[in-house]
Structure 1
């Protein structure tokens, strides 16, 4: 899937001269965690988020003031920190040069970037113009729509072939001693496994097979140390 499939269009934005209090009110009123910042020409120049407003002098969360030595050796950094915690305008607290995506960006890339950079939403640009925003909530909506999709026309043979193929591809999966049966779209798993992690992973493969209605776990756990066997679900 691509960004264009899930993004929120007509995104609300603010300008650098917008007051911090107005930006906070807009976020609260629209239930969003961040806002794109556009200049007068409509170009993206930043993003202001809840995180940018966490350290504020007004609520006593600005942290400890820099000591005299840091102020002496790094006066620019101390001054910048003061602006971030005291500025009354978005221009003073926003994140400059924000990461953005295009409508054609794949959702896998969006998800990886959000996780790696620890961000919740990203502006969507087309021809250098803001056309929307994609957020973690949008990705969850896409996930939900995929999870509830069912295919009633899948045969038992197709389900069995899918599960066997996935087990074969999985490097961790036991390749012997595992039996899979499918009848009326109900999967029965039998055989031996050597860890609870293997059991849960094999069950997950079966659950994800298109058309499956139920998975019966009759696997047996064998303790490699003692050689004793137990029902895996016990």
Structure 2
């Protein structure tokens, strides 16, 4: 069973954005099951997010969704006739779909546990253990940013300094705190959770009402010593047309 992250990791304030895999192999809902199986085998992966053309998460496809298939004779063992008699038609139909459907959209798991880019790794470790899963997609406003797997957490553990009891401040977290302080007190600034720092680059997210507001935030972030660059991901509010 996967255990909770050690205190060393929690003390470094690592978050999903610090440990996630950014270049994620994905599949589309219209991908065939055979094509997905080839993708898994060729890239040595055991799961992939299912996304639409805009990069929004629709579900997750894993090896578990592909192991019981009619093509290779690995269908689930049939129940005795009396158990099957009492089984719901919904469950029987769902099993048939898993074993025979041609497209990913019919065999994927649609209900996916996800995290935000700001979720602490300690919470992610708890999710993986509690739900007995191997990975969680990282989302921002429904869009896939990356994925955190058990392997990512193991790599995070390996990055902890060897000296027992010695914690090294996360430079990105320190820089983020400075940027948030610089933005603090300004009515035009976005909320703190919309400020992400990765490798010295500040990423600003959220909804703004003007180009001036977005530019002011960029200038404020650029003023902070140590900032290597600023990327503006902010967007205008979605307007809903009157009926």
TM range (shorter): 0.5 to 0.7
Name the structure, 1 or 2, with higher relative contact order (CA <8 Å, separation 6+): 2
Match status 1:39 vs 2:39: no
Of residues 110, 113, 130, the one that matches 2:127 is 113
Distance 1:2 1:48 in 2: 24
Q: Which residue of 2 aligns with 1:134?
A: 148
Cross-structure match for 1:230 = none
- Partner residue, 1:17: 30
Contact residue 66 and residue 78 of structure 1 kept, 8 A = no
Distance in structure 2 (CA, Å) of the matches to 1:126 and 1:51: 27
Normalising by structure 2, we get a TM-score of 0.58
- CA deviation digits over 1:62-121, x for unaligned, max 9? 222245445554112101101111212111211112111111001011111111111111
Which residue is equivalent to 1:29?
A: 42
Query: Where does the alignment leave 5 or more consecutive residues of structure 1 unmatched?
Result: 152-207, 212-234
For the aligned residue pairs, the C-alpha RMSD in angstroms reads: 2.0
Secondary structure in 2 matching 1:96 = coil
Distance in 2 of aligned mates of 1:133 and 1:33: 13
Greater strand share, structure number: 1
- What is the CA–CA distance in structure 2 between the aligned matches of 1:47 and 1:134, rounded to whole Å? 13
Contact persistence 1:70–1:78 (CA under 8 A)? no
Question: How many residue pairs are counted as aligned between the two chains?
Answer: 153
Q: Distance in 1 between matches of 2:150 and 2:131?
A: 13
What are the within-5 Å matches in structure 2 for residues 1-234 of structure 1? 1-73=14-86, 74-146=88-160, 149-150=161-162, 208-210=164-166
1:47·1:95 contact (CA, 8 Å) conserved in 2?
yes
- List runs of 5+ in structure 2 lacking aligned partners: 1-13, 168-243
How far does the alpha carbon of each residue in 1:122-147 deviate from its partner, in whole angstroms, 9 at most, with x for none?
Answer: 1111121111111111111101111x
Larger gyration radius, structure 1 or structure 2: 1
